[in-house]
Amino acid sequence: MKIAIAQLNPTIGDLVNNSQKILDAAHHAVAQNARLLLTPELSLCGYSPRDLLLYPNFIESLTAQLQELAQKLPPELAVLVGTVTPNKFAHLKGEKPLFNSVSLLENREIKRTFHKWLLPTYDVFDEHRYFEAGKKPNIFQLSVDRNSKEKIKIGVTICEDLWNDEQFWQKRSYKHNPLKDLVDLNIDLIVNLSASPYYLHKPELRKQMIQSSSNHYQIPIIYVNQIGGNDDLIFDGNSFAVNQKGELVSEAKAFSEDFTTFDFEPKTKEFSLTPIIHLPQIEEQELFSALVLGLKDYAKKCNFTQVILGLSGGIDSALVAAIATTAMGAENVLGVLMPSPYSSDHSLKDAQNLVKNLGINHHILPIGEIMETYDQVLDPLFSGTEFGIAEENLQARIRGNLLMSLANKFGYLLLSTGNKSEMAVGYCTLYGDMNGGLAVIADVPKTRVFSLCHWLNLHQEIIPNNILIKPPSAELKPNQVDQDSLPPYEILDAILNLNINHHQSFDEIAQAGFDAHIVKKVLKLVTRAEFKRTQSPLVLKVTDKAFGTGWRMPICSRDSALHHCGMIYNQKEFFMTSDRSLKNKNELS
Amino acid sequence: MKIAIAQLNPTIGDLVNNSQKILDAAHHAVAQNARLLLTPELSLCGYSPRDLLLYPNFIESLTAQLQELAQKLPPELAVLVGTVTPNKFAHLKGEKPLFNSVSLLENREIKRTFHKWLLPTYDVFDEHRYFEAGKKPNIFQLSVDRNSKEKIKIGVTICEDLWNDEQFWQKRSYKHNPLKDLVDLNIDLIVNLSASPYYLHKPELRKQMIQSSSNHYQIPIIYVNQIGGNDDLIFDGNSFAVNQKGELVSEAKAFSEDFTTFDFEPKTKEFSLTPIIHLPQIEEQELFSALVLGLKDYAKKCNFTQVILGLSGGIDSALVAAIATTAMGAENVLGVLMPSPYSSDHSLKDAQNLVKNLGINHHILPIGEIMETYDQVLDPLFSGTEFGIAEENLQARIRGNLLMSLANKFGYLLLSTGNKSEMAVGYCTLYGDMNGGLAVIADVPKTRVFSLCHWLNLHQEIIPNNILIKPPSAELKPNQVDQDSLPPYEILDAILNLNINHHQSFDEIAQAGFDAHIVKKVLKLVTRAEFKRTQSPLVLKVTDKAFGTGWRMPICSRDSALHHCGMIYNQKEFFMTSDRSLKNKNELS
C-alpha cells in the first residue's frame, strides 16, 4: 500500500492557493499509485490563522473550501486535510466554538472529521483561545486498495497529540495520551499531521521523541510537518516515517517543500524500505537555513522582492546581509553605508569589502550634516548638557529614517539587524537600528552570530576577516566598544540563556557561579528593556524562547521576586525610565 | 457582621508594597470592627503577572510573602487575599503547574486556599497558559464574631467564575457554573474577588450581570474589583454589593482606590443599608477618567514624573494633552510644536491657544531645515521621483526623532497621540507620530475623540474651538485633509467597529448597507496596516477589542476568507507592501 506525504508551505488564510497545493499533491500521489495522501496540520488555512478564527465568515469560507476540494480531488485517493471545523452547539455545552481538525476526503466527499485532543497553550501557542479538545478516538479503516476488502486501521493524531509521552519526557503534560489510547485499540499505523515550529535542535528532538514512542508502543508512525515561514515562526518540514521498532525509514527535506511516497505492508506493519541512518546536521547550517527560509517567506508572502539594510561594518549587519543574499539573491539586496564623524576608518572599508564579497548593491549616505542640523535645532534646549544617550540615539535614528525613506520610496523591505543579546539588554535604539519589517537575527545570541559567520567563512571569505576579529562597537561616540558597557559576550549570553530560556532568577544564576554583581546588572537591563521589545519588528524564532509571541512580560512591574535583588529593590533606577540605549559606561559599572 | 472591601491598586510583581497595602487595609478594617476583609483577585502580585509566572523563583517569593503577610495581619480579622499557588504533582497528573487562588488568612495562618474554576482565554486573557482550573467547591464557614458560635457559610468565586450565567448571556461559555454549584450548597453569601479590566460600558454591564444572577439565585453577592492601570489594561474598581434581590446596597469609587465597610445580617441575609439607586455616568466622563488613570499609572509605575508630546494643532494631540494635564498636572506636561513649511497658519496658533488653555509648557522647534538637509542627502537617490509617501513620512519621523531626543535627554515619557481609526487603517507613520511609550488614545475612534473634546468644552473652552471645527489634516503636503484619503469618519468608524469589535467581514458589512467599494477599501487598509500595529506602543484599552494583547492577527496572510473580496483577491496590491502611510489620494480612489 503506497502512502504519500505532501510537506506543504501554505500561506495563512490563502484558502484558494493552499487548496490548489493539496490538489497538485493529490495528482502526484495518484500518478504514483498512492492510496493515501497526508498533508500538514491546518493545511487548508496554514498554521496559525490566529484571530482570523474569530471571524465567522472565515470559518464559513473554510467549510466551503473543504467541500469544494473534496469534489475536485481524484476520487480514488484518500486524503487527510488539516482544517478548522465548527463545534456545533458549543454555546449550549459551554465549550469553545471550534475544533482543530483533520478531514478525510475520499470519493468526492468529506468522509470523516477528527479533532485534535491536546491543545498547547505554552510559548507561542494559544490553541485554547479558539479550540475545544477532541474526545473521541481518531481512527479510520482504509481498504488497502480501492477494490480490496483488506483494510488497515489508521490512528490519526494532530501535532501536540504525540507530545505527551511520559517515558520520553519523564513527566506528563496533559491528562490524556492519545497515542496510548489509539494503540490500545489495535491500530496498524499512526499518522501525525503537524505544524511544529522550528527552533535549534528541535528537528532532532522531535525525531527522537517519535522514535522512542514508536519503539515503546511497537507502532509505525508517519509524521508530516508543515514547512515555511509564517510571520515569526519557521516550520522546518523534516517529515519522516519510522517503523514499529522506531527506526527511521523515510525522511523528507528540511526547510523546503517536499513530496514523497513509500510502501507500507499492512500485514507485517513494515515499510518496504531499508532503515536509513540519520546524519546529524551541523548546527550552524541548520540555523542558517532556518533564517534564510524565514526571511524568504516573509518577503514572498508579503510580496516584497527586494530588501534593504544598513551596513555598519559590524558583524550583525554582515550576517544579515549574507542571509539576505542567500534568501533574495544578491541583486535584490541593497546595503546602505551611513558613516558619521564617529565611524572608525575601518568601518566603511569593512562594509565595502562585505558588499564586494556578497556582490550586493550599495549606497553611501554620510549623516554628519543631518546630525549638525538636528544639533542646531536642539541647541537652545540642549546647550549646557553633556553629550550622552540622546545624542547617541539620534545618530541611530537618523540612519533609521534614511533607511525607511528609501524603503518607502522604492518598496524595499527593511531588515533590522540587531542580535538577541542586544535586544535582551536594550543595547539598541528604538526607532533607530530597531527599525524594520523583520528582525532577522534578533533570536540569535551574539556568540552564535560569531559562530555562524565563522561557519560561513569555512571555505572562502564571505564575511571580511576584519569584521570577525575587531571588537564589536556601536560607534556612536569616539573609541566606544560594546565591552565598555556590557560584560564579555560569552558571559552575557550564558546569563541571558539561563534567565530567558531557562527561567532562572538572580539567586539561581549567581549560584551557578556567575559574578553576582554582573548578574544583577544584566537582569536589571533585561527588565528595563521590555518596553523596547514590545515595539520590535517580528523576530524570527530560532530558539525555544524568542522575544515575540511566546514572550509575554509586563512592562510596568517591579520584579522584586524575579530578580530577588534586595539591594536595588525599590530604588528609582530599577524602573524602566525612558528609552536609554545604555551605551554609557556607568550603566554597568 | 461587618465586612470590609479594599479596592486596591497593586503594582505587578511588587510583592512587598502590595502586601503592605493589604496590611494597611486590614488595620483600617479592624479599626472599624470588621470581621472579614476582601481584596481583589491576585491582590498580592497584581493582575496579571503574565510570564513572570513561568519563573519558579517568582512563585516561591509569592508563597513566602503570603506566609509573612499571614503572620503580620491582625489575627482577629479574616482576610481573603488573591495569590498564585503551586499545583502539586501537576507533572504527574498532566495538569498546569499553578492555580489562580484566593487564600483565607486568619489567626496568623493560611487557613484555606481556594482555586479559580473558570479560566478565561479570550481577548486579553491567557489564563490557561499558566493555570489549572479548580475542581472543589470554594466554601468556608466564618464565625459572625470571633467568639461567637454562630457561623455563616461563604462561597468564594474569583472573577470569571461569575461570568457564566446562562440566563443573563443566553448562552453557556463554560461547562461549569460555580455560582449555581455554590448556591446548591446552601451558602449565605457569595464573594467575588476580581481583576476585571475596563472597557466603555463594562462597569454597567458587570453590575447588571451580577444583579441578575443575585436576583435569580436569591443570593447576596459582594464584588471586589482591582483598580489601576497595568500596562495596557485599566481596572476601574467599581466594587459593589447587592442583596439577594439583586438590589445595589453599596458601591465603591470608580477609577480610584477605595475602602468601604458594611453590615451583613446573616439571619436575614440582608445588608443593613438602604438600597441605592445607581445613576448612569456620562459616557465621555467615564472614558476620560479611564484614560487619565491609565496614563497616570503607567507613568507612576514606570517612575516617570513628566510627559512630552507633539502638538500639531490637531484634535488628537489636543485631547491627549488634556488627558496628560489631568493625569500629571500642567507643570509636568511639555508640548512641542514642530511646524514644517506645509503647516497651515492656524496650526501653530491653535496649538499655542491649547497650551495657554491648559497652562502646560511648550517649545517650538521648526523642522524645515532638517527636512532640507535630508533632502540634500537623499537627492542623489530621489531626484527624478515624485514627492510622495516617503517625503510625507520623513516629516513625521523628524518630529518623532526630536521628541525622542528630548525624552532621552530629560527623562520624559513620550506620549503617542494617534487615535484608533488611524491605527486601524494605517493612517499614521511608523517611527514617526507612532513613537512613544504609551499610545494614550489609540483605542478611541476619531468620532469619539470629537465627542470627548466637546464634552471637555461643556463649561469652558479647553480645546480651542478652531481645533474642533477645522477639517482634520496630517499637513504633510499642501492643502491636505484626511478626507482626501479616507471616507467620512462617521462611516469609517462604523465600518471599523463592525469589523474589529464585532468580527464582521466584507459580506456582512456591505449587507448592512455600507457602500461595498468603501468597505472593501477600508478592510484592505486594516489588513495592510497590521505590521505597523505590531510595532505600536502599548495602547490603553477602552473598548471591548483594542489593538494590543487581545488582538492577535497574522501579518503575512491573504485573507481571502475574511474579506471575501473576490475582485481584489490575488492581486499584488492586496498584500502589505512597505510602510505606507496611505496619505496619497489614489489609495482610496
Last residue of a domain, one of A247, A273, A299: A273
* Closest by Cβ to A556, choosing from B231, B405, B551: B231
Residue A279: per-residue pLDDT: 62
Residue B577: per-residue pLDDT: 32
**Whole-angstrom Cα distance, residue B585 to residue B365?**
29
CB contact under 8 A, A13 and B561: yes
**B19 in a structural domain:** yes
β-pairing, A2-7 vs A36-38, is parallel
Residue A180: all three cell numbers together: 496510548
Q: Which residues of B touch A506 (CB under 8 A)?
A: 57
The pTM of the full predicted model, rounded to 2 decimals, is 0.94
| Alpha-carbon gap: B456 to the closest alpha carbon of chain A (Å) | 29
Beta-bridge mates of residue A98: A86, A131
**Together in a domain, B266 and B292:** no
Of the listed ranges B151-160, B415-424, B496-505, B567-576, the least confidently predicted one is B567-576
**Whole-angstrom Cα distance, residue B265 to residue B273?**
10
Q: Is it the case that residue B518 has pLDDT exceeding 60?
A: yes
Q: Which residues of A touch B564 (CB under 8 A)?
A: 57, 61
On the question of a cis peptide bond just before residue A48, with omega within 30 degrees of 0, the verdict is yes
**Whole-angstrom Cα distance, residue A361 to residue A346?**
20
**B62 in a structural domain:** yes
Last residue of a domain, one of B228, B259, B281: B281
pLDDT tens digits along B526-545: 999 999 999 999 999 999 99
CB contact under 8 A, B537 and A536: no
Average pLDDT of span B288-302: 97
**Together in a domain, B324 and B227:** no
Distances (CA, A) of A456 to A148, A288, A315, A453: 54, 9, 12, 5
The CATH number for B171's domain is 3.60.110.10
Residue B573: all three cell numbers together: 496590491
Q: Are B73 and B23 in contact, with CB atoms under 8 Å apart? A: yes
pLDDT class of B549 with cuts at 50, 70, 90: very high
Range of the domain at A236: 2-273
CB contact under 8 A, B431 and A404: yes
Give, to the nearest 10 degrees, the angle between helix B516-528 and helix B489-496: 70
Residue A588: per-residue pLDDT: 30
Residue B568: per-residue pLDDT: 31
| Alpha-carbon gap: A528 to the closest alpha carbon of chain B (Å) | 10
* Closest by Cβ to A556, choosing from B301, B378, B435: B301
**Together in a domain, B43 and B172:** yes
Average pLDDT of span B40-52: 97
Question: How many beta carbons lie within 10 A of that of residue B314, not counting itself?
Answer: 22
At residue B109, what is the residue type?
E
Q: Looking at per-residue confidence, does B582 or A505 come out higher?
A: A505
**A40 in a structural domain:** yes
Q: Which residues of B touch A564 (CB under 8 A)?
A: 57, 61
Largest CA distance in chain B: 91
**Together in a domain, B319 and B455:** yes
CB contact under 8 A, B52 and A554: yes
* Closest by Cβ to B91, choosing from A17, A172, A437: A172
Q: Which residues of B touch A54 (CB under 8 A)?
A: 503
Q: Are A265 and A272 in contact, with CB atoms under 8 Å apart? A: yes
**Whole-angstrom Cα distance, residue A376 to residue A454?**
44
- Residue B153 annotated in active site: no
Distances (CA, A) of B88 to A578, B127, B239: 41, 18, 33
Question: How many beta carbons lie within 10 A of that of residue B64, not counting itself?
Answer: 12
Give how many domains chain A has, as a whole number. Answer: 2
**Together in a domain, A514 and A392:** yes
Residue B278: per-residue pLDDT: 62
Q: What's the per-residue H, E or C state across B293-304? A: HHHHHHHHHCCC
Distances (CA, A) of B317 to B87, B340, B411, B512: 48, 17, 20, 33
DSSP alpha helix (H) spans, A341-484: 345-358, 368-382, 389-410, 420-425, 446-456, 465-469
* Closest by Cβ to A561, choosing from B62, B369, B576: B62
| Alpha-carbon gap: A142 to the closest alpha carbon of chain B (Å) | 32
Q: Are A217 and A182 in contact, with CB atoms under 8 Å apart? A: no
Q: Which residues of A touch B530 (CB under 8 A)?
A: none
Q: Give the residue on B whose Cα is nearest the Cα of A296.
A: B556
CB contact under 8 A, A538 and B558: no
Q: Looking at per-residue confidence, does A267 or B371 come out higher?
A: B371
Which stretch of DSSP H or E encloses residue A270? strand A270-271
**Whole-angstrom Cα distance, residue B380 to residue A402?**
13
Beta-bridge mates of residue B131: B98
3-state SS, residue B31: helix
Residues 6+ apart with CB under 8 A from B228: B8, B9, B10, B234, B235, B257, B293, B297
ipTM for the complex shown: 0.94
Sole residue written with cell 479510520: A140
* Closest by Cβ to B564, choosing from A61, A559, A579: A61
3-state SS of chain A: helix, strand, coil percent to 5? 40, 20, 40
**B504 in a structural domain:** no
Residue B581: per-residue pLDDT: 38
**Whole-angstrom Cα distance, residue B526 to residue B520?**
10
**A282 in a structural domain:** no
Residue B266: per-residue pLDDT: 85
Q: Give the residue on A whose Cα is nearest the Cα of B122.
A: A129
Residue A281: per-residue pLDDT: 74
**Together in a domain, B271 and B352:** no
Residue A89: all three cell numbers together: 452547539
Q: Give the residue on A whose Cα is nearest the Cα of B362.
A: A381
CB contact under 8 A, A49 and B554: yes
β-pairing, A270-271 vs A258-265, is antiparallel
Q: Are A52 and B554 in contact, with CB atoms under 8 Å apart? A: yes
Q: For chains A and B, count residue pairs whose Cβ atoms are closer than 8 Å.
A: 369
CB contact under 8 A, B126 and A126: yes
φ, ψ of residue B556 in degrees (nearest 5): -80, 85
**Together in a domain, A355 and A264:** no
pLDDT class of B484 with cuts at 50, 70, 90: confident
Q: Give the residue on A whose Cα is nearest the Cα of B537.
A: A535
Largest CA distance in chain A: 91
CB contact under 8 A, B393 and A406: no
Q: Which residues of A touch B370 (CB under 8 A)?
A: 370, 373-374, 377
Residue A275: per-residue pLDDT: 67
* Closest by Cβ to A12, choosing from B397, B431, B554: B554
- Residue B45 annotated in active site: no
pLDDT class of B269 with cuts at 50, 70, 90: confident
Which stretch of DSSP H or E encloses residue A510? helix A506-511
**Together in a domain, A495 and A365:** yes
Which stretch of DSSP H or E encloses residue A212? helix A202-217
A370-389: b (≥16 Cβ within 10 Å) or e: bbebbeebbeebbeeeeebb
Name which of A69, A55, A67 is nearest A13 in CA terms: A55
**Whole-angstrom Cα distance, residue A533 to residue A311?**
22
DSSP A507: H
Q: Are A12 and A300 in contact, with CB atoms under 8 Å apart? A: no
Residue A484: per-residue pLDDT: 81
**Together in a domain, B76 and B223:** yes
DSSP A498: I
Q: Give the residue on A whose Cα is nearest the Cα of B129.
A: A121
Handedness of CA B408, A547, B56, B65 (dihedral sign): positive
**B587 in a structural domain:** no
Residues 6+ apart with CB under 8 A from A131: A84, A96, A98, A99, A100, A116, A119
CB contact under 8 A, A561 and B128: no
Question: How many beta carbons lie within 10 A of that of residue B209, not counting itself?
Answer: 17
**Whole-angstrom Cα distance, residue A369 to residue B297?**
40
Angle at B371 between CA B370 and CA B373, to 5 degrees: 65
Residue B308: all three cell numbers together: 512630552
Residue A276: per-residue pLDDT: 72
pLDDT < 50 positions in chain A: 561-589
pLDDT tens digits along B556-577: 988 654 444 333 322 223 222 3
The CATH number for A568's domain is 3.40.50.620
Q: Are A315 and A450 in contact, with CB atoms under 8 Å apart? A: yes
Positions of A marked catalytic: 41, 116, 159
* Closest by Cβ to A175, choosing from B13, B93, B431: B93
**Together in a domain, A313 and A386:** yes
Q: Are A127 and A163 in contact, with CB atoms under 8 Å apart? A: no
**B503 in a structural domain:** no
| Alpha-carbon gap: B418 to the closest alpha carbon of chain A (Å) | 16
Q: Which residues of A touch B163 (CB under 8 A)?
A: none
**Whole-angstrom Cα distance, residue B383 to residue B375?**
9
Disruptive mutation site among B98, B234, B371, B408 for chain A (greatest number of A CBs within 10 Å):
B408
**Whole-angstrom Cα distance, residue A500 to residue A539?**
15
**B555 in a structural domain:** no
Q: Are A367 and A402 in contact, with CB atoms under 8 Å apart? A: yes
CB contact under 8 A, B230 and A369: no
HSE-CB at A216 with a 13 A cutoff on CA atoms is 14
Angle at B144 between CA B73 and CA B10, to 5 degrees: 35
Last residue of a domain, one of B281, B312, B342: B281
Average pLDDT, chain B: 92
Residue B148: per-residue pLDDT: 85
Q: Which residues of A touch B394 (CB under 8 A)?
A: 401, 405
Q: Which residues of B touch A534 (CB under 8 A)?
A: 537-538
CB contact under 8 A, B55 and A503: yes
CB contact under 8 A, B561 and A57: yes
| Alpha-carbon gap: B382 to the closest alpha carbon of chain A (Å) | 8
3-state SS, residue B12: strand
End-to-end Cα separation, chain A, in angstroms: 69
3-state SS of chain B: helix, strand, coil percent to 5? 40, 20, 40
Sole residue written with cell 546524519: A279
Residue B423: per-residue pLDDT: 97
Residues 6+ apart with CB under 8 A from B379: none
Average pLDDT of span B580-586: 34
| Alpha-carbon gap: A261 to the closest alpha carbon of chain B (Å) | 30
**Together in a domain, A303 and A260:** no
**Together in a domain, A266 and A374:** no
Name which of B422, B321, B552 is nearest A549 in CA terms: B552
